[in-house]
Amino acid sequence: MIIRRLLIANRGEIAARIIRTCRRLGIETVLAASDADLESVPARLADRTIRIGPAPSARSYLDIAAVVRAAKAARVDAVHPGYGFLSENAQFARACDEAGIVFIGPTAEQLEAVGDKLRAREHAIAAGIPVVPGGAVASVSEAQKLAERIGWPLLIKAVGGGGGRGMRPVREPAHLAEAIELAMAEANTAFGDSRVYLERLVLSGRHVEVQILGDGRDVIHLGDRDCSIQRRYQKLIEEAPAPELPDGLRQAMHAAAVAFGRRLAYRGLGTVEFLVDREREEFYFLEMNARIQVEHPVTEMVTGLDLVAEQIAVAQGQRLRLRQSDVVLSGHAIECRINAEDAALDFRPSPGTVTRAVFPAGAGIRIDTHIEVGAKVPPFYDSLLAKLIVHGADRTQCLERLRRALANCRIEGVTTNLAMHAAVAGSEEFARGGVDTQWFARFWQHVAGGGGKAEAEASRAGGNHG
């Protein structure tokens, strides 16, 4: 089929990003917007905007019935869910199918297979991919027995969790019982699923992920990204390719990601995430994100591809337009997530109105944003304002461009984390590359003094992410 009109079931920079590709492809766009976003930049960029509900996401962007009604009313051929919100919701994918609307993403069955962390782990094992030692537990006694087998320290994870949520480190046996009970209660409240599982905690790990693309019959990879610069399991800076990664390990991870995708006969874009044990030079499967990622621009910069266009092509039933040999990586790219948050107040969100917005331009610089002077930053959603992406012939040139670009970026009216990014970009340790997931916590404690106390606590907790 040919997609001629598409509903974007999202907001912010990813909505603007999807509109750009659709415009180039000659696809009409309809933006599904809450009351808070009816006057947003994406609303003006789209060919048409349709209201889906009040500002709270539970009554708009997460309301499956409302989004499907909007899609039907707009008579669209397809829905692009972006990332977050309903992008990995199998029920939403089924509702689109039942309405005769193409869901731009994997099948509902594939979303279910990777959305449940235990099922995803089982698929990884079946595909011959190493996983962190651990397993499911249904009680404190089961957890105690498993802990004796896999060793300490441990990490408790919610089966239905994601994005760093639903995780609780445990360093000593005396704290296990209480931690298990709390984790189960929290998981049930947050995800409606009280199931948890244990993993051995890898203390010096890197978060490296591999981008894959499938058409339901074949799967290829589009290189890797390092996402180890994080605070409280949330990514801050991403780069492609992952620096200081041994070639043999890199190739093995690429092969593992493709094997995982083929195991599922995967359709669409997906990211297979791994934890790299720096001391042992081993990697473990963490999870798969069955959607486009926030950090997809760094992959686009080093491959020259438009990943949204590839998503749409596959959703139209086309075979992959690329063979693995067609994927050639060029140079290095780094992305900084510019958020409306106050680092001096433990990164508290900073809603408000943008009074100044000046972004850098020039060779190798890309800005993905949805803000301008006068733009409202509502308190209801993620605080991401823009993504600054730079590309260079190598990582050294990329870092030089990043530092200059950050120095020429100005956003006023709301507090941002630009100074934090500048501090990281100027760090000698970051410049050397290959830092672990706990590096930022240690770094920020040093930079911010007392303001980095919470990060130091996270650092001491350890590092399996996913």
Q: Annotated active-site positions, please?
A: 291
Q: Is the peptide bond before 54 cis (omega within 30 degrees of 0)?
A: no
- CA distances from residue 41 to 12, 208, 289 in whole angstroms, order as listed: 8, 33, 27
Q: Degrees (nearest 5) of the Cα angle 272, 124, 465?
A: 50
447 burial level (CB within 10 Å; 0-12, 13-18, 19+)? middle
Rounded CA-CA distance 38/354 in Å is: 17
Rounded CA-CA distance 67/40 in Å is: 18
How far from chain centre, in Å, is Cα 127? Answer: 23
Question: 48: which residues sit within 8 A by CB, 6+ positions away?
Answer: 28, 29, 30, 31, 74
Q: What is the largest CA-CA distance in the chain?
A: 61
Rounded CA-CA distance 301/331 in Å is: 8
In terms of Cα–Cα distance, which of 367, 337, 268, 258 is closest to 309? 268
